[in-house]
Amino acid sequence: MNAATGLTARPAWRALQQHFTTLRATHLRDLFAADPRRGERFTAEGAGWYLDYSKNRIDQETRRLLVALARECGVEERREAMWRGERINVTEHRPVLHVALRAPRAAKIVVDGTDVVAEVHAVLERMGAFAERVRGGAWTGHTGRRIRNVVNIGIGGSDLGPQMAYEALRRYSARELRFRFVSNVDGTDFCEAVQDLDPAETLFVVCSKTFTTLETLANARAARTWLLAALGDTDAVRRHFVAVSTNASEVAKFGIDPDNMFGFWDWVGGRYSLDSAIGLSTMLAVGPEPFREFLAGFHAMDEHFRSAPFERNLPVLLALLTVWYVNFFDATSIAILPYDQYLQRFPAYLQQLTMESNGKQVTRDGARVGYATGPVYFGEPGTNGQHSFYQLLHQGTSLVPCDFIGFCRSLNPLGDQHDLLMANLFAQSEALAFGKTESEVRAEGVPERLVPHRCFDGNRPSNVLLADALTPQTLGALVALYEHSVFVQGCIWDVNSFDQWGVELGKQLAARIAPELTTTAPLAHDSSTNALIARYRRRRLPAGTLATQ
Ligand code: G6Q
């Protein structure tokens, strides 16, 4: 089978195309009217999460065909190949084993003759011991003062996950410790993060899988300079810097004591590394035991993904629905709408997970795909988003499937505010699905000229994900849910969800341009880039000068 046409030639795909021609005109109002129990029938549960996917433009036949497509695309085989540690990241020739990071101690996953689960637990032990010392005050700074500030330096997968998890689990975190996250090579990020911190009480956690990332090394050097300017003694680095990396030699070259390094492995992708030692800042915030619960939540979803039949399998269902909208309804974006302020960084985190994984134009074999792949993910916590971009979700010309995420119990009960929050979640999903017809608008006495403006077509799909409360466990399960959903999508689109070559070109060009900015050497780019660099050269300030001076 030709790889580029492989997917679209599959029997289930062909059947879905046929089925789509009949279902596309069906309104969610009709689907609900035809089956009074639809809201209970199209639901699934696993690892503490309840998924209501009844407000999707599907019927039982759609689900049957989508599940058949997953089978034809070998989702089961590829899932097991991942668990077996096969090198399913074909372009980097690596296993993909984030599931080993949360496997219980008794589990065994062997890669190249080594039981990686045992290694994972050895690192977890070291992280736990270190976290206890910092949190308990036994680990002090160079001058003997207690650590009160933790600054995570990292970017991409070494920043988005830890920052999201820190924010999400804030309710469980040690409030006497302050956490900051520095990622951007823009000096503003570092300067603002440390401007009110005392170097003698500050611990830097430098997170970089490769320890060669330009932004992270620039910020780590800035941190060292800032620390030494205050403490004066290079020995201080030992007490104020720890590293999380797979690259011990680069860590040592930077001057961080290898004893203060927490390792992980090349079979952990950056955007899948939150539950490795990259989560050290999260563990410092919440403590080792809640971190283990967090891992247990991931593992519970792993087990669900591995054992639940596809028809009741949360990651499989979420993935198939995305494929349905992207490939049949031509949807180009998905909104992630968490109704919980603690999940404010969750959409940003998911953006990387989904778009870096499945934003691909060739199949695993390198043939051009003949169909759409990963959509744009975006989102904001509700209810804030309601007062901004939801207008387009309700009345715009694009179809934007939405994932609503909420909790039955608030971690901060404040009067009736949680009920108000959840009422909004339920109402949004209802409004998107059922809309408001012309006759309903007229019946409200709306003047005729305003009727078109006040109508809502409805028929806009959404999922609702509910858990009892935001805990380390439910957060872990939620992350794993999306990780596996991305995996299933990748299997169907036949792309490698675990590489990210797309970020390379810009990096290479920036490395070429950086030295050109500070010379007067002739430029050999296109006329636009040449003119931009020339203007910048004329107007830039010498390093170290303030724009306001
Ligand atoms: C994620 C990507 C990327 C990576 C960063 C940081 O999957 O690979 O976002 O996490 O580029 O890389 P380092 O951890 O090596 O600094």
Question: 534 falls in which pLDDT band (50, 70, 90)?
Answer: very high
Question: 543 falls in which pLDDT band (50, 70, 90)?
Answer: confident
Structure tokens at 491: 């299997």
pLDDT tens digits, residue range 430-463? 999 999 999 999 999 999 999 999 999 999 999 9
Candidate from 213, 217, 278, 360 with most ligand 1 atoms within 8 A of CB, to mutate: 213
Question: 358 falls in which pLDDT band (50, 70, 90)?
Answer: very high
Ligand 1 atom index nearest CA of 156: 9
Question: 316 falls in which pLDDT band (50, 70, 90)?
Answer: very high
Candidate from 92, 210, 247 with most ligand 1 atoms within 8 A of CB, to mutate: 210
Distance 173 CA to ligand 1 centre (A): 26
pLDDT tens digits, residue range 378-387? 999 999 999 9
pLDDT of the residue at 478? 99
Distance 204 CA to ligand 1 centre (A): 18
Cβ 85 under 6 angstroms from ligand 1: no
For residues 97-114, one letter each, b for 16 or more C-beta atoms within 10 angstroms of the residue's C-beta and e for the rest, the string is: bbbbbbbeeebebebeee
Catalytic residues: 356, 387, 507
Distance 257 CA to ligand 1 centre (A): 22
CA distances for 500 relative to 355, 494, 495, angstroms: 10, 15, 11
Candidate from 152, 155, 163 with most ligand 1 atoms within 8 A of CB, to mutate: 155
Cβ 162 under 6 angstroms from ligand 1: no
Cβ 216 under 6 angstroms from ligand 1: yes
Question: 545 falls in which pLDDT band (50, 70, 90)?
Answer: confident
Give the pLDDT mean for 297-308.
98
pTM value is: 0.97
Ligand 1 atom index nearest CA of 269: 7
Which of 52, 68, 53, 74 is CA-nearest to residue 19?
A: 68
Distance 256 CA to ligand 1 centre (A): 20
Give the pLDDT mean for 469-492.
98
Q: Is the pLDDT of residue 3 over 50?
A: no
Residue whose Cα lies nearest atom 9 of ligand 1: it is: 156
Q: Is the pLDDT of residue 1 over 70?
A: no
pLDDT tens digits, residue range 481-521? 999 999 999 999 999 999 999 999 999 999 999 999 999 99
Looking at every residue in the chain, the average pLDDT score rounds to: 96
Q: Is the pLDDT of residue 228 over 80?
A: yes
Ligand 1 atom index nearest CA of 157: 10
pLDDT tens digits, residue range 39-70? 999 999 999 999 999 999 999 999 999 999 99
Cβ 496 under 6 angstroms from ligand 1: no
Cβ 94 under 6 angstroms from ligand 1: no
Residues 6+ apart with CB under 8 A from 44: 50, 51, 53, 308, 311, 312, 313, 314, 317
pLDDT tens digits, residue range 162-178? 999 999 999 999 999 99
pLDDT of the residue at 548? 65
Which of 75, 281, 278, 85 is CA-nearest to residue 169?
A: 281
Cβ 157 under 6 angstroms from ligand 1: yes
Residues 6+ apart with CB under 8 A from 157: 209, 269, 270, 271, 272, 273, 274, 278, 352
Give me the sign of the Cα torsion angle 462, 467, 472, 476.
negative
Distance 26 CA to ligand 1 centre (A): 44
Q: Is the pLDDT of residue 25 over 50?
A: yes
Tell me how far apart the alpha carbons of residues 389 and 379 are, in angstroms, rounded to a whole number.
9
Residue whose Cα lies nearest atom 11 of ligand 1: it is: 156
Ligand 1 atom index nearest CA of 207: 14
pLDDT of the residue at 247? 95
Instruction: Report, in angstroms and rounded to the nearest whole number, the Rg of the chain calculated over CA atoms.
Output: 25
pLDDT of the residue at 5? 64
Cβ 270 under 6 angstroms from ligand 1: yes
Cβ 245 under 6 angstroms from ligand 1: no
Cβ 159 under 6 angstroms from ligand 1: no
CA distances for 156 relative to 6, 20, 208, 250, 395, angstroms: 33, 38, 9, 19, 34
pLDDT of the residue at 328? 98
C-beta of residue 339 within 8 angstroms of C-beta of residue 405: yes
Distance 358 CA to ligand 1 centre (A): 16
pLDDT tens digits, residue range 393-437? 999 999 999 999 999 999 999 999 999 999 999 999 999 999 999
Cβ 209 under 6 angstroms from ligand 1: yes
Cβ 155 under 6 angstroms from ligand 1: yes
Candidate from 354, 498, 500 with most ligand 1 atoms within 8 A of CB, to mutate: 500
pLDDT of the residue at 65? 98
Tell me how far apart the alpha carbons of residues 133 and 130 are, in angstroms, rounded to a whole number.
5
Looking at the chain, the whole-number percentage of residues with pLDDT higher than 70 is 98
Question: 4 falls in which pLDDT band (50, 70, 90)?
Answer: very low
Ligand 1 atom index nearest CA of 271: 7
Distance 211 CA to ligand 1 centre (A): 10
Distance 210 CA to ligand 1 centre (A): 8
DSSP label of 544? T
Distance 158 CA to ligand 1 centre (A): 6
The neighbour count for residue 447, using CB atoms within 10 Å, is 8
Ligand 1 atom index nearest CA of 216: 16
